[in-house]
Structure 1
Amino acid sequence: MLYWWIGEGFVGTPEKKAEQVAGERTNQREITEEQLPNELSEKLEPTAEDSANEVFNELLAKGFLEPFSEKRTLKVLVNKCKMHPFVRAAVVILARRAKFFDFDSEGKLTNSFSSSYRACLLADKNLYEKQDMNSIHTLLNVDQTNLEFQKHMNNLHMLFNVDQTILEFQKPERFSMMKNINIFCLGRWQSSPRHHIEVEDTNFLEGFKNMKHLKFLSLQGISRIMELPTSISKLVNLTILDLKACPNLEEIPKEIGLLKCLTHLDMSECYLLVNMPKEISTLVELQVLKGFVVGTLNLKGKNTCTLEQLANLPKLRKLSIYTGRKDFPDPSELKILSKFKVLRKLTIEWGGDSQGKLDNDSNREEVAEKPMEAEAKQPENEGEGQSTGEKSIPTEAPQPENASEGNSMPAEATQPGNEGEGKSIDSEGIVPENGTEGKSTTEVSKQENHEDANTKNQVNAEDSTATPATTNRCNCFTLATKKGLKNVKRTITRRSGKEAWAYAPPELPIQLEKLDLQCYPKPCAPEWLKAKKLQKVKKLYIRGGKLRDVGQFDCDERSKWKVEILRLKFLKELDMDWRETQELFPNLIYLEKVRCPKLTLFPCDEYGVWIKRT
């Protein structure tokens, strides 16, 4: 509904309000000339969506709309509403008087648009029999039509699919007559995926070439659309493009880069997409991007948009990522994500290979590494190489065992050179342990194996004194942490001291306000999912996956989350009781848990909802 309001122009960007807030902040504290543009762009610039939310909340507050939900919820989380019959009757009278829609005598919408500039597609079995010349369905399917209404079709502002599930257009060329249309919503408006829409032929998409005033295009949930036509480049005023849940969509054309007014692009739940055209990175007005694919395939040489290119978008505040990689995000990608300065909401969904084929992926990686290792051991031709018994310097430093957990270093940090520029320093800025500097790789590995054995013995000794209840729950953190610290110290770099001390572990953008993780494929929480690194996150959603902890085992450096709204769903391994949750999330006002059997003693209702009493 908010997108509809934006497309119709009912709401816009409140620029005056931004200037007013900017003036108030400037008076409160001094801001340098260099900081002022960043302050305005990152914090002070309201959007059209913000204005639409304000109108929506006002309608809720005045009772024109009533929240509708089967379970208790907060007003800020409302996504469904209903209208009182008396209020609806009054709205129908006003809409009919303003010629907003065509209604029948009972106040229901009709297929006709004889008195308005907005047409609706309705499921009616008798449409072919009636052949109403005032109906949009008749104009798009019947040979002999009213020429007067064909002319009226040129002035049509909106086409909205109310409940038609099979879209048949025998005269698709007539879509090109809609030269002044602003809203073209053929996709589903319902949130449930059970509402399926199927199109017989995609030739109607060629009518986009004449829709130069179109602002909102929705094809959500429509099957049999495999690609968008290149004529989409003609939609120069398009603001919102909704392609969510198009199950057959395989490719986004590079012409999408010509939509310079685009602020919202939704490609989520389009699971056949494997490549994002790099032209997406040229959409400088883009504020919301959903369904950005970080693939597992090697697409070098193709027209592929990367995260690094995406970081150049100055207004991107909401990003949704889909990936099949279990190691996403790696340290280099975390470093790139930290460059998204205005990003406020981030969603990451792991699917495909990351969840269902973890063992297969690891086997493929091992098989791929064996030929490389064998080739590295063989001497080079013409006697220039060394024998397998001689020491050699590899072209790349050996990766630590848990490199996928975020302890790996960038490639340039592991190159040989600068040996005489002081002591070598690892990725965390830690000087190597005594006795390791200057040793060969073989000697260092022997010492590491000995240290690992001592560490494991120490951990086992500590665990033997613990109670059975705490042993299983702390093993994951204790062993992983102690082993992780050893691995950090293993990473010996050749960088100068000044460069190495300046290096900091990469993390997610610190200004994030909402984080949504879906199907995380590993049991232990990564280093970037720590409360101390996400102090501005107010909403935390974790759904599905193998995650066991959210910081409750972090006994040595426990920090508290600032989260106010927490949703935990389908987490079979997450082990925590209500007391631990309250200690870890002291600011919690809303909690929702669904099918998390190891979350115990939670005072939730039958729907798994807990709301703090005020």
Structure 2
Amino acid sequence: MAYNNNLQTQKSGDTLEEKVDKILESLIELNKLLCPLKEDPLGRSKKEQGITESNNQKTTLQRSQSAPPALDLVSFYLITRLQSHLRLLKLKLGKLEKLHTSLGEELDKHVGTVHELIKNRDSSKVFSQSTYWIKPDLEGMETKIFDLLCEVPLLSSKPEKQKSAAAYDDQDDEYEFDQGKAYFYLPGLHSNVDDLIKCEAFRQVKQKFVELEIERKICILSFAVFPENREVHRTVLMYWLIGEGILPVEGAQEAVREVLKEFTEKELVEPVEERRKVAPSSYKMSPFVHSSVVLLSKQIGVFDIYGKGCKPSMQVSDRRKIFIVEESAVQREATVRKMPSMDIETVFNVSERYPDFTIKWFSKKPRTHRRFMINLSEAWFKSLNVFYLGRWERSKKRHIQVQNHDPMKSLKHVTKVKVLSLQGISTIRSLNSSVCKLHQLIVLDLRECSDLTKLPEKIDSLESLVYLDMSGCYMLEWIPLRLALLKNLEVLKGFVVSDEFFESVACKVNYLKNLKKLRKLSIEINRDDFGVEQMMENLVDLKELTSLKVTWKRDLRVIRGSSTGIKSLPDQLKKLDLQRFPHEELPLWLHPENLLHLKRLHIGGGRRLKGFGNYLPEEPTKCAVEVLRLTLLPKLRVGWIELKQIYFPNLSFLESYECPRVTLTPCDGNGIWRSDQD
């Protein structure tokens, strides 16, 4: 057989990368044995997946209907997750020369385990019975490999052993956060105070600052924490200012837009204009303004991370704020003993990649201070409102890791936290029940926590939660039932419609109708029997929903004869995004002539979609769509005249990407047309 070459005994001279490759090759063969003669993990035939086969093609063996598909699905998920961990591990093995021996021995064990699973397997038992005995082995391997994956970068690149840190000036992302390179720190304009205060630019900035209201002054000073000329998304500012109590929770999105509009008019910040965006969502601060605001902030005592030298350093400000930067962990001020005995309201990660040391601040162990004991977790951080441990950048260049895989255990005593962001921390695998003690939490940002697999079952204890972002948590397979009890939730991103295997424990889409305040929702569907009709039927009762994004992760199994009572989209829905659209035709209530209130429509990744309706209307429709994005639609056939003059007469923005049959559009080389610029 083809895999016999992979069953040879592991040689001691093999490199770590070669050992990982052999495990991956063996897992591929193991997956073929678990799911023989079929590509689909559920065991469906090609006909069931809607693919027509020719008559002269040989019919493949069908899966036994008495065999439960969920068991094969479990093995498929475990193998897929294990392969993902191994591939990521392979990318990091170049830093493991000192750990070569210990890791080699551990990988040898797993190579032998996979070989034994294949070697001892009875080839006649290829169906669900095998998953009963193979599941524990796969779970054990997946857990151990994940532990190795988490240890690799932390053992090889601890902050105290790094010889240089990432630069904090305005450089390209690909250079700024690369490890192992020497950097030169150029002094900012704020480093020379005498020359700066003589500049006319500084006087103008100071005058504009004085004219601002007190809350606006705090906003602009907070903005200067970020590097100059670096794009900052308004959502980051909104979360931060909500936690500080500067922005109200209700109407925060409109409020932050007003703040940024005022700063733009005063030329304190610049909007980042992008042709493919209808309106800017990110802002940056020019060097002169940034240096002026940094100096003002230092004089007021809001923050002083720049100090006297060129290289940023962590400081505890007079306003009870801590901003951690690259290599903060090696500073004496970052140790538990050096922390001042004062209440801290904000901890913000500006550029640190290994923020483990901050977790120790929340330890229950008291420290000795002269003649008395101080409990840090209960005294020092009792007023903590904002804990931004993760990444604030939208770019994924800064890879953040924590050795403590569940920082919630240390945060359970900090019960007044309002904003908690773990964005981009890849090594967090689950959130335990300790997070449920944060009853005042308003924002929980888990965006891009790529290894997160589980949320706490009692998540409804977060009774104040308004924003929950789980976008990019690709390993999250199901959502706890009690999430539907979060009555104050307004924004929910990354909700997972789980497979049948999690039917008894997972929250379903129709349970979300209890979230009466929900305004924004994004859904990822991991089922092959859940089409757009069923999805909208479950959401039609959400009367406050204005934005909806749906992504199908699997090809939809064709369901004939499905019908719905929906005649049109809810009037309040203004934005609809359908990714990997699964049907050949749009349902009647999605035809352009029925979109009387929708303003933005995005249909992407639909390999089957052919058109916008069964016939071309004789007169222009009353469609209200102004922004239309069509991406990766190879079969969609429509011309520019029909698109602009008949289907979408109010169109002012069009994106057409990888749509070869959408013809004669006036789009530029990037597939963008804007009425205000063309």
TM bracket (short chain): 0.5 to 0.7
Alignment match, 1:160: 348
Amino acid at match of 1:530: H
Q: Which residue is 1:609 aligned to? A: 672
Aligned counterparts, 1:87-486, within 5 A: 87-102=289-304, 103-105=306-308, 109-124=312-327, 128=330, 131-133=331-333, 136=334, 138-139=335-336, 145-146=337-338, 149-152=339-342, 155-169=343-357, 172=360, 174=362, 176=377, 177-302=380-505, 304-329=506-531, 331-351=533-553, 353-354=554-555, 402-403=560-561, 406-407=562-563
Q: Distance in 2 between matches of 1:170 and 1:91?
A: 27
TM-score (norm 2): 0.58
Aligned equivalents of 1:91, 1:611: Cα separation in 2? 36
Which of residues 72, 84, 103 in structure 1 aligns to 2:286?
Answer: 84
Q: Which residue of 1 aligns with 2:596?
A: 535
Secondary structure of 2:458's partner?
Answer: helix
**How big is the shift at 1:269?**
1.7
1:100 to 1:573, Cα distance in 2 relative to 1, 3 A: farther
Deviations 1:230-250 (A, max 9, x none): 111221111010111211111
2:583 is aligned to 522
Q: Is the 8 A contact 1:218 1:243 kept in 2?
A: yes
State the SS of the aligned residue for 2:444: strand
Alignment match of 2:255 (pick from 29, 51, 59) = 51
Q: Give the counterpart of 2:658 among 595, 600, 609.
A: 595
Change (3 A) 1:54 1:327: farther
Q: CA deviation digits over 1:76-106, x for unaligned, max 9?
A: x212222222222232122222221113247
- Larger of the two Rg values belongs to structure: 1
Separation in 1, partners of 2:273, 2:399: 22
Q: Which amino acid aligns with 2:281?
A: N
CA shift, 1:112, in A, is: 1.6
CA distance 1:4–1:602, change in 2 (3 Å): same
Distance 1:182 1:171 in 2: 15
- Counterpart position of 1:5: 241
Q: Does the C-alpha gap of structure 1 residues 576 and 80 become closer, same or farther in structure 2, counting only changes over 3 Å? A: same
Gaps of 5+ in 1: 14-45, 140-144, 363-400, 409-503
- Measured after TM superposition, the shift of residue 168 of structure 1 is 3.3
Residues 64/246 of structure 1: CA separation in 2 closer, same or farther (3 Å cut): same
Note closer, same or farther for the CA distance 1:569–1:333 as it changes in structure 2 (3 Å cut).
closer
Does the aligned pair in 2 maintain the 1:517–1:542 contact within 8 Å?
A: yes
1:264–1:286 CA contact under 8 A, matched in 2: yes
For 1:578 and 1:247, the matched residues in 2 are separated by: 40
Q: Deviations over 1:142-168 (max 9, x none)?
A: xxx33xx2423xx11111112222343
Whole-angstrom distance in 2 between the partners of 1:306 and 1:72:
34
CA distance in 2, matches of 1:120, 1:170: 11
Please name the residue that 1:18 is paired with: none
User: Is the 8 Å Cα contact of residues 228 and 251 (structure 1) preserved in structure 2?
Assistant: yes
Secondary structure at 1:160 match in 2: strand
Question: Does the alignment pair 1:555 with 2:622?
Answer: no
Shift of 1:288: 0.5
TM-score by length of 1: 0.64
AA partner of residue 603 (structure 1): P
Distance 1:213 1:601 in 2: 57
State the 1:515 CA deviation: 0.5
Distance 1:216 1:107 in 2: 31
User: Is 2:492–2:521's contact at 8 Å kept on the other side of the alignment?
Assistant: yes
Structure 1 residues 306 and 238, CA gap change in structure 2 (3 angstroms):
same
SS at match of 1:197: coil
Shift of 1:342: 0.9
Identity of aligned residues (%): 36
User: In structure 2, what is the Cα distance between the partners aligned to 1:330 and 1:259?
Assistant: 31
C-alpha offsets along residues 325-373 of structure 1, whole Å, 9 cap, x if unaligned?
344346554333111111110010111x33xxx6xx67xxxxxxxxxxx
Measured in 2, the distance between the counterparts of 1:506 and 1:305 equals 27
1:61 and 2:247 matched: no
8 Å CA contact 1:295–1:323 kept in 2: the answer is yes
Structure 2: 5+ residue stretches without partners: 1-236, 364-376
Aligned amino acid, residue 672 of structure 2: V
CA contact (8 A) 2:297 2:303 kept: yes
- The alpha carbon displacement at 1:521 in A equals 2.5
Q: Any conservation in 1 of the 2:406–2:430 contact (CA below 8 Å)?
A: no
| Contact 1:284–1:315 (CA under 8 A) maintained in structure 2 | yes
Q: C-alpha deviations, 1:439-477, integer Å up to 9, x for none?
A: xxxxxxxxxxxxxxxxxxxxxxxxxxxxxxxxxxxxxxx
Q: Which stretch has the larger CA shift, 230-239 or 61-70?
A: 61-70
Is the 1:242–1:267 contact (alpha carbons within 8 Å) kept by the matching residues of 2? yes
SS of 1:217 mapped into structure 2:
strand
Q: What amino acid maps onto 1:120 in structure 2? A: F
Q: State the Cα deviation string for residues 41-85 of structure 1 (Å, max 9, x = none).
A: xxxxx62222222222232333222122454644xx212222222
SS of aligned partner of 2:571? coil
The one-letter amino acid paired with 2:588 is E
**Structure-2 change in CA distance of 1:108 and 1:314 (3 Å):** farther
Does structure 2 retain, via aligned residues, the 8 Å contact 1:518–1:543?
Answer: yes
In the TM superposition, what whole-angstrom CA distance separates every residue of 1:251-273 from its partner, at most 9, and x where no partner exists?
11122101111111111221222
* AA at the equivalent of 1:586: P
* Shift in Å, 1:221: 1.4
Residues 510 and 329 of structure 1: is their aligned pair in 2 closer, same or farther, counting only changes over 3 Å? farther
CA 1:88–1:216 in structure 2 vs 1: closer, same or farther (change >3 Å)?
A: same
Q: Is the 8 A contact 2:406 2:431 kept in 1?
A: no
The answer to whether the 8 Å contact 2:592/2:623 transfers is: yes
In structure 1, what is the Cα distance between the partners aligned to 2:465 and 2:254?
17
Letter in 2 for 1:311: K
- AA at the equivalent of 2:465: L
Q: Does 1:512 align with 2:583?
A: no
Conserved? CA contact 1:552–1:580, under 8 Å = no
1:580 paired residue number: 642
Check 1:522–1:210 CA distance in 2 against 1; reply closer, same or farther (3 A cut): same
Contact 1:334 / 1:506 at 8 angstroms: preserved in 2? no
CA–CA distance in 2 between the matches of 1:228 and 1:100?
A: 32
Deviation string for 1:188-215 (max 9, x for gaps)?
Answer: 1111234322222225321221212211
2-structure distance, mates of 1:550, 1:241: 40
Shift of 1:528: 3.7
Report the alpha carbon displacement of residue 560 of structure 1 after superposing the two structures with TM.
4.3
Corresponding residue pairs, total = 423
For the residues of structure 2 that align with 1:531 and 1:106, how far apart are their CA atoms? 60
